[in-house]
Amino acid sequence: MKIAILISSRGTNMQALVKACEADGFPAEVVTVLSNNPDAAGLDFAKKHNIDTKVINHRDYEDRESFDTDVSDYLSSKKVDLICLAGFMRLLTSDFVNRWRDRIINIHPSLLPAFKGLHVHERALESGTRFTGCTVHFVRPEMDDGPIISQAVVPILAGDTADSLAARILVQEHRIYPHALKMIAEHKVKVHGSVATIEDAPQTEASLTNPFVEN
């Protein structure tokens, strides 16, 4: 499966995806890394890994539609099968998302549908919730919406700050994003309306409590 990764800055999730795709037998390859920011540090990482890079600077466009059209046309020229958003800080237009429907995935640092948008970790801490996490999902025109593919749960600990919580969640993002990509590339993920189902997905009845409860 040929994938494109879209970034806006350092792209640590992009790096996790690239490293996964370099492993023997992984069913996907990164054919391009695209950024809307010419100064994105992640572009250098991609070049060092012999991946084609492309900059389409959104500041050169008068509107979102024309920017999205050029991005979409470029991805089509690369014969991309799947788009992975990895810290791509642009809202995509409905026309773009619908053109690539069920072929765009994103990772968000919360347990969607909770805490959509920005300042996620601060809001989680302020809410008093005991758990948060991250979510890989198919993209829909609405922000941070779409069928959920994979999630990881992270407990909020006493004394957590937004930075400490973000760091622990990022570790899980780097685990579940490559795994979600692998399942999609193996054609195990199917979308039925607003729900994604996974063929032969391992399951567990194990549960977490916070505060921890010893049995």
What six digits make up the tokens of 186? 């193996």
SS percent in the chain: helix, strand, coil, step 5: 35, 25, 45
In Å, how far from its chain's centre is CA 175?
Answer: 11
Catalytic residue among 49, 58, 108, 187: 108
Does 49 qualify as catalytic in the annotation? no
Q: Are 13 and 87 within 8 A, CB to CB?
A: yes
Closest CA to 187 of 70, 103, 97, 75: 103
Distances (CA, A) of 51 to 39, 204, 205: 17, 37, 40
Please, which residues have CB within 8 angstroms of residue 97's CB and are 6 or more apart in sequence? 104, 139, 140, 141
Residue 107 CA neighbour count, 13 Å, CB half: 31
Start-end of H helices in 81-148? 94-99, 120-127
Q: Are 184 and 149 within 8 A, CB to CB?
A: yes
Q: What phi and psi, each to the nearest 5 degrees, are found at residue 105?
A: -125, 155
Q: Identify the bridge partners of residue 82 per DSSP, sorted by sequence position.
A: 3
Residues noted as catalytic = 108
